[in-house]
Chain A
Amino acid sequence: MSAQKELDQQDTSSPVTIAEQPVQVLDADGNVCPNATLPDLSDETLVSMYEDIKLARRFDERAISLQRQGRIATYAPMTGQEGAQVATSYALDEQDWLFPTYREHAAKYVHGVQLASLLKPLRGIRDGYAVPDGVNVMPEYIPIATQVPQAMGMAWGHKLQGKADHAVLCHLGDGATSEGDFHEGLNFAGVFDVPAVFVCNNNQWAISVPRERQTASETIAQKAQSYGIEGVRVDGLDPLAMYQVTNEALNKAKAPAAGERRPTLIEAVLYRFGAHTTADDPSAYRDEDEANEWKAKDPVDRFGKFLYKQGLLDERLEAEMDARIEATISDAIEAAEQAESDPNQLFEYVYDEMPDRLREQRAELDALREKYGDGAFDGVLE
């Protein structure tokens, strides 16, 4: 019996069942697994999802290269996690909200954030965190797990305002499950039964610390049990499984059946193929053979093979796709590199109304810049 069927057949009065084997739709060669059903997605959507996953992979390569050239600062790569990021955002409706961490570049992009906006904060420019009205994406969360109770709170607010069809999807990592905020957020989510889906991208490593060192639990999904909510393990390298499980979880969050609780904790079982960020070297703390085992289940290859087998993709289409991706990313890099930050932005948006004292401080800085020129502020500390 597939893990998904086990979930489907569970007694709704006891909503917590932990699938030992992650839910899977595609096998490593892109074949549909026995007993698996394909999610209800149009051919066009499937191809578009693949293009976004490929774009994410290429964006990662370019961003790492930009960091090496000193054109952006520290970058958190997502290679290996693009399939899960793209698929979970495909499952979102436009009105749903996304709470990303510093690694969910592709999840943000798919839910409406421009690529150039992803790059700007990496160049130290804050405007990248500002997303247009109507794009429901929070600025990335860097202090670990802090987004979890906040995502719960926004979902709670939606429910209290009769908008439970505005679900909230909150990303977190395996390391985050050790923080108190994780516990408090999920506990509240269960108690107040809010329309939220928590996606734990269990990439097995929190910088140098392996998953086994984060928790003695066998799985992360089983932690859901202690909050009275559903926990599901999914093959995070399988974009279709990720889409399917996230979509079901979002549907349940918005319109639960009798006896169901709205929140779900999804454990995406995947792997951080590269470094935590461009500032660390994984060979110092893990065996790279381990990565190779996971790379055999690469989400890009796997999904691509599936599409070829389905007759939805051929080499010509893929070459066109690659050309589009290159152009899109190059344009974004150019836009991000042209962006600048005015020092006066320091003082903006601290409060709705700038206090007098801050006004004085701004005037003080203006006067110094006028007198000495901006060059006098450059790298004196170095």
Chain B
Amino acid sequence: MSSATAPDADTPIEKLTLVEAVCDGLYTEMSRDDSVVVLGEDVGKNGGVFRATAGLYEEFGDERVIDTPLAEAGIVGSAIGLALSGMRPVAEMQFMGFIYPAFDQLVSHAARLRSRSHGQYSVPMVVRAPYGGGIHAPEHHSESKEAFFVHEPGLKVVSPSTPYDAKGLLIASLRDPDPVIFLEPKLIYRAFKQAVPTGEYEVPLSDASVRREGSDISVYTWGAMTRPTLIAADNLADEHGVDVEVVDLRTLSPLDIDTIVESFKKTGRAAVVHEAPKTGGLGAEISSTIQEEALLHQEAPIKRITGFDTPMPLHAIEDFYLPQAVRIQEGILETVQF
């Protein structure tokens, strides 16, 4: 991380959950930049269904924290227009499973206005969406569809796994000249607290983070899956003496290929853990990239430990759908023992 984006050394620290850090990131940037506005369903008076915008309406008023009609295409389409006018909109999709009406606006316009206009226009906006399973939510509330957006040139896709990163990545996203899909792992919205500087700082949208150093295998993951992956890594160290390196990608598009490949060259073995279905998931992209860049270092097939190729089930059996530590351990062992 460059020093220009790091917080001041003497900045006060608060212990925040991930969702509080998102809110703090919005607060920090809205305080600094009047052009930042938040819009979406229930983001105002109600403070967001997950409280991600709690207190912002009271602080900044109804012209900057805007309850819109219930219409995702309207929210994202109007956010594109707001961005074109010189505002910095943060559009909230209440759940990722409800983003589809806005898909056309995102892929046909937000993603490509820069290229369509030969560089004349850009769409600097952030679309936030809670995503992922594990909270016993109703149907359509637990999807992980990051691959749809990673597949779309022109969009950046981000998913934090810690409160510190959530704030820093969100501020970086808000300052980014291109549209960013900011995916918030709601399973860990309140799972733990972490020291977060109250002032401004950025976590750049270019760097993966090595969460655990290891020498036997590189495991790539992001968002809510980072925790069970770290648990699996600790278990494997204790029970099998396997030394796992865990790489939290943080930004899914563009990928930090250098960090991915560098880690793989060290270990020669890899697994990818994600909640989304296996087929066409980001695991395939990472696996192919490694083979293109470091084939001669490869000592075993690259394992994908993912959601199954099924719809996200209703919650009674969602724990069987999601990659649990037990599945992650098994997949890692298989790769290490190959």
Contact = CB atoms under 8 A, between A and B. Distances in A.
Interface string A201-238: 00000111100011100000000000000000000000
B70 A179 contact: yes
A346 B137 contact: no
A279 B186 CA distance: 15
Given A284-B46, A381-B227, A143 B140 contact: yes
B49 A207 contact: yes
A345 B308 CA distance: 12
Contact of B326 (A143, A355, A377): A377
B317 A345 contact: yes
A126 interface: yes
A142 B228 contact: no
B interface majority secondary structure: loop
Interface string A62-78: 00000000000110000
A215 B279 contact: no
Find the residue from B46, B72, B224, B231 having the highest chain A CB count within 10 A: B46
B314 A346 contact: no
B234 interface: no
Contacts of A143: 97-98, 100, 140
Nearest to B306: A361
Given A178-B69, A209-B70, A358 B324 contact: no
B12 to A, nearest CB: 29
Contacts of B98: 143-144
B315 A124 contact: yes
Interface in A99-131: 102, 121, 123-126
B71 interface: yes
A380 B320 contact: no
A333 B141 CA distance: 24
B70 A343 contact: no
A376 interface: yes
B38 to A, nearest CB: 14
A381 B225 CA distance: 8
Interface residues of B, number: 53
A369 B308 CA distance: 15
Contacts of B71: 178-180
A361 B49 CA distance: 35
A125 B316 CA distance: 6
Contacts of B46: 207-208, 280, 284-285
B314 A381 contact: no
A74 B137 contact: yes
A55 B308 CA distance: 40
A257 interface: no
A156 B44 CA distance: 40
A365 interface: yes
A19 interface: no
A347 B279 contact: no
A355 B228 CA distance: 29
Given A180-B73, A341-B317, A213 B67 contact: yes
Contact of B324 (A176, A178, A376): A376
Interface in A350-382: 350, 355, 357-358, 361-362, 365, 368-369, 371-372, 376-382
Find the residue from B70, B278, B308, B317 having the highest chain A CB count within 10 A: B70
A346 B316 CA distance: 10
A378 B70 contact: no
Contacts of B138: 73-74, 102, 121, 142
Given A73-B137, A207-B49, A347-B308, A381 B187 contact: yes
A175 interface: yes
Contacts of B101: 179-181
Contacts of B266: none
Contacts, number: 145
Contacts of B314: 121, 124-126, 341
Given A180-B71, A343-B317, A361-B278, A124 B136 contact: yes
A144 B72 CA distance: 10
A379 to B, nearest CB: 7
Given A143-B100, A381-B187, A209 B41 contact: yes
Nearest to B100: A143
A142 B49 contact: no
Contacts of A345: 313, 317
Contact of A368 (B141, B310, B327): B327
Interface in A172-202: 175-176, 178-181
A345 B204 CA distance: 42
Nearest to B320: A343
Contacts of B309: 350, 355, 357-358, 361
B241 interface: no
A369 B324 CA distance: 12
Given A73-B315, A74-B138, A124-B317, A381 B322 contact: yes
Contact of A208 (B42, B317, B326): B42
A380 B231 CA distance: 9
B299 interface: no
Nearest to A376: B326
Given A214-B69, A347-B310, A341 B326 contact: no
Interface in A37-89: 73-74
Interface in B69-87: 69-74
Nearest to A122: B138
Interface string B300-329: 000000001111011111111110111100
Find the residue from A74, A121, A379, A381 having the highest chain B CB count within 10 A: A381
B279 A357 contact: yes
B42 A361 contact: no
Interface string A122-160: 011110000000000000001110000000000000000
5 contacts: A142-B139, A209-B67, A285-B46, A342-B317, A381-B319
Interface of A: 73-74, 102, 121, 123-126, 142-144, 175-176, 178-181, 206-209, 213-215, 279-280, 284-285, 340-343, 345-347, 350, 355, 357-358, 361-362, 365, 368-369, 371-372, 376-382
Given A178-B74, A355-B309, A357-B309, 5 more contacts: A179-B70, A179-B72, A280-B49, A345-B313, A378-B319
